[in-house]
């Protein structure tokens, strides 16, 4: 399977570059873990269980986080941000990605794949995803959203 991911590209760049600290490498590892888990969630649950509007909301939110990873690495690589600033921003982006994944999992919690001829699945709605991902509500599993700003 070919892995084509901007997040993985950035995280591998962080790991292979000599400038970032061990803390940045640790954060890159968390970013890789979140990326792999999000891909697994998308294939196993997101695409099969979400309707088009819900999936679009989830993908737009994920895309915004991916853009933050890419832009942050560009700034660091071009010397526009210090190592200390890079580490702090990388931690915020990684936490945002982990929170996004947690929120995405909430959307599909308790849903099931429709059987042939089934009318569909239970809809939680994209509003819940937005509220949980912004830390405004508790999810049905009892996790509290901790999105960073």
Per-residue pLDDT of 109-127, as tens digits, reads 887 766 655 444 344 444 4
Of 65-74, 94-103, 128-137, give the lowest mean pLDDT range: 128-137
Q: Which pTM does this prediction carry?
A: 0.72
* Whether residue 142 has pLDDT greater than 80: no
Q: What is the DSSP annotation of 62-130?
A: HHHHHHHHHHHHHHHHTTSS-HHHHHHHHHHHHHHHHHHHHHHHHHHTT--PPPTT--------HHHHH
Q: What does the domain layout of the chain look like in residue ranges?
A: 6-133
Closest to 95 in 3D by CA, of 124, 133, 121: 133
Residues 6+ apart with CB under 8 A from 80: 74
What are the tens digits of pLDDT across the range 22-80?
999 999 999 999 999 999 999 999 999 999 999 999 999 999 999 999 999 999 999 99
């Amino acid at each position: 399977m070919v892995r084509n991911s901007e997040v993985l590209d950035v995280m591998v760049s962080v790991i292979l570059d000599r400038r970032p600290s061990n803390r940045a490498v640790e954060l890159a590892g968390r970013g890789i873990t979140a990326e792999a888990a999000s891909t697994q969630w998308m294939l196993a649950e997101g695409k099969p269980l979400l309707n088009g509007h819900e999936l679009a909301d989830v993908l737009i939110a994920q895309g915004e986080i991916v853009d933050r990873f890419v832009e942050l690495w560009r700034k660091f690589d071009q010397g526009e941000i210090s190592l200390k600033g890079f580490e702090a921003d990388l931690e915020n982006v990684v936490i945002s990605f982990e929170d996004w994944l947690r929120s995405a999992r909430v959307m599909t919690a308790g849903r099931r794949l429709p059987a042939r001829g089934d009318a569909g699945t239970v809809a939680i709605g994209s509003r819940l995803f937005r509220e949980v991902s912004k830390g405004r509500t508790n999810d049905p599993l009892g996790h509290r959203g901790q999105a960073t700003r």
